[in-house]
Every structure is written in structure tokens, then in C-alpha cells.
């Protein structure tokens, strides 16, 4: 069960990262930094936020790296990072997290780590990151669909042309 949890967590992180990378390929610099309102985050802010969260919760807390996260700057950024840099940051962060998760032994899953003033098991920390990453991936997909006015095609294999049905 432990190996299934760890391998599926890696699979979901990689899947979400791939979908975000696809969105970053489709969007212009203006679109990546677009905010529907000042209270909303841009796609770029969400990518920066995901990188910060994964580094803090997985790479630092579980992997033992130094936690240098500056969470507020993830949301305050306004056009500071170009798309190729965002793509590289995301890819490198996910790959480092994957390497960290691959080193987690089943026995470590119940070990307690301290993250943002929370005491969490390693299992809870990984679960949090996968869930959090998925949530923001959905926001990025929605923003990309809105900005491009097009379906992204991730579920086109589920469409049934005989009935004219489409999966959202």
C-alpha cells in the first residue's frame, strides 16, 4: 500500500505538471500574467506558488533542504518571470520533488515533520502537496480555457462521437 501511495503521488504530480506545461506553451506573456481582478492570481503567480509550496513541503521538509520560501513574493510578482523560466522552474521543482518522494521509505511515512507551524506526517505532507497541486492545476486549466476560448483536449478520448457527447 505504501509503494502504491508513493508511486501514485509521483504520477499525479507529473501529470499535473505536464498539463500546466501545456498551458504555458499555449499562453502569451500577457496571458500568463493576466488577472481577472486584483484579488485573483495569474497563471504565473500560481506556478510560482506551486514551486514554493512543493519546495517547502517536500524538498525542504521531507528532503532536508533549506527552506528559503518567501510565500508573499509568489503572489506579489507582476511580470517578473518569463514563460521559459516559469517552465524550467516548474519542471525542476517537480523533478526534485519526485526524487525526494522516491527516497521515502514506507517506514518514513509516519515520521513527523514541521512545516509552516504544522506538525504533519510525511504521508500527510505528500498528500497535501498532491491535492494542492491538483487544485491549482485546475485553476490554471480553467484560466487557459478562458483566455484561449478553447478546450485543451485532455479528455477527448472520452468523447462519444456517435452520441455527440463531450466531456467538459
pLDDT bracket for residue 65 (50, 70, 90): very high
pLDDT for position 158: 82
pLDDT for position 105: 96
Residue (of 74, 22, 75, 52) closest to 129 by Cα position:
52
Identify the residue with better confidence: 54 or 164.
54
- The model's pTM is 0.91
pLDDT for position 102: 98
Distance CA 87, CA 26 (A): 12
Residues 6+ apart with CB under 8 A from 144: 23, 26, 27, 43, 152
In which element (H, E) is residue 115 found?
A: strand 112-115
Q: What percentage of the chain has pLDDT greater than the value 90?
A: 86
Identify the residue with better confidence: 11 or 156.
11
Decide: 62 and 104 in contact? Cβ < 8 Å.
Answer: yes
Architecture of the 2-158 domain: Up-down Bundle (1.20)
Amino acid at each position: 500500500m505504501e509503494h502504491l501511495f508513493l508511486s501514485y503521488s509521483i504520477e499525479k504530480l507529473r501529470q499535473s505538471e505536464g498539463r500546466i506545461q501545456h498551458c504555458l506553451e499555449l499562453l502569451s506573456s500577457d496571458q500568463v500574467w493576466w488577472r481577472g481582478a486584483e484579488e485573483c492570481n495569474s497563471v504565473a503567480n500560481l506556478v510560482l506558488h506551486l514551486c514554493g509550496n512543493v519546495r517547502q513541503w517536500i524538498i525542504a521538509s521531507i528532503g532536508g533542504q533549506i527552506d528559503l520560501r518567501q510565500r508573499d513574493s509568489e503572489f506579489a510578482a507582476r511580470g517578473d518571470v518569463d514563460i521559459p523560466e516559469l517552465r524550467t522552474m516548474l519542471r525542476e521543482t517537480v523533478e526534485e520533488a519526485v526524487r525526494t518522494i522516491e527516497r521515502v521509505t514506507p517506514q518514513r511515512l509516519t515520521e513527523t515533520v514541521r512545516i509552516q507551524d504544522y506538525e504533519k506526517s510525511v504521508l500527510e505532507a505528500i498528500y497535501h502537496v498532491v491535492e494542492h497541486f491538483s487544485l491549482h492545476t485546475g485553476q490554471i486549466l480553467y484560466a487557459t480555457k478562458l483566455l484561449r476560448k478553447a478546450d485543451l483536449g485532455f479528455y477527448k478520448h472520452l468523447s462519444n462521437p456517435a452520441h455527440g457527447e463531450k466531456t467538459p
